[in-house]
Amino acid sequence: MRSLVVRPSERCEEWRDALEGKLDGRLTRLVDEDEPGPALCEITTYINGQYRFDRAPGGGVREKVSQLQTELARLRRRLGWAQQRDLDLSLLRYVRECGCLSVVLGAGASKGAGAPLWPDLLRLIIETARAKGHKIVRIA
C-alpha cells in the first residue's frame, strides 16, 4: 500500500519545478507517481504559500489553486473514502507537529451537540452576568 503519511516528498525539487512552472503534464505525472501523503503535502504547502505571499489583486492565485484542487480531487477519488480519511488525519497530525494548527469553527459547528447558537449564547452570558450582580452596559 502506498504511504498515506503526510511529509515532504523526496522528490521536492521535481514538485517545485512542476508547481512553479506551467501546470502541465509534469504535475499530473507527479500526483500519479509519488506517494499520496507527500503529494498532498507538496500541493497543500504550495497552495498555502500562494495565499500567504500573493497580495496583488488578480495575481492569478485563484486560477492556479483551482487547477491544483482539481489534481487533489483526482488523487482523493483514486484513494477511496477510508484512505482519504487516513490521509486527512495524517495531514492534521503533520500540521499539529509543525506547531501551526488553528481550529476555526463557524457559529453552528456544535449545534448538533446541543450547544447554543450565537444569539442564545450571548443571552445566556448576559443573564449569568446579571445574576452574579455585574452591570451590563451597552456600548454604541
Mean pLDDT, 10 residues at a time, the chain of 140 residues: 84 90 81 93 85 61 82 91 91 84 69 80 90 84
Please state the pTM of the whole predicted model. Answer: 0.63
Evaluate whether residue 84 is within a structural domain. Answer: yes
Which grid cell is 42? 507538496
Q: Are 42 and 89 in contact (CB under 8 A)?
A: no
Residue 54, pLDDT score = 59
Residue span of the structural domain in which 87 resides? 12-97
Count of structural domains, the chain: 1
**At what angle are helices 61-79 and 36-53 packed, to 10 degrees?**
160
Evaluate whether residue 18 is within a structural domain. Answer: yes
What is the distance between the alpha carbons of residues 79 and 83, in angstroms, rounded to a whole number? Answer: 6
Residue 117, pLDDT score = 81
Residue 23, pLDDT score = 63
Evaluate whether residue 133 is within a structural domain. Answer: no
Evaluate whether residue 124 is within a structural domain. Answer: no
Evaluate whether residue 107 is within a structural domain. Answer: no
Residue 109, pLDDT score = 73
Q: Are 44 and 8 in contact (CB under 8 A)?
A: no
What is the distance between the alpha carbons of residues 28 and 84, in angstroms, rounded to a whole number? Answer: 19
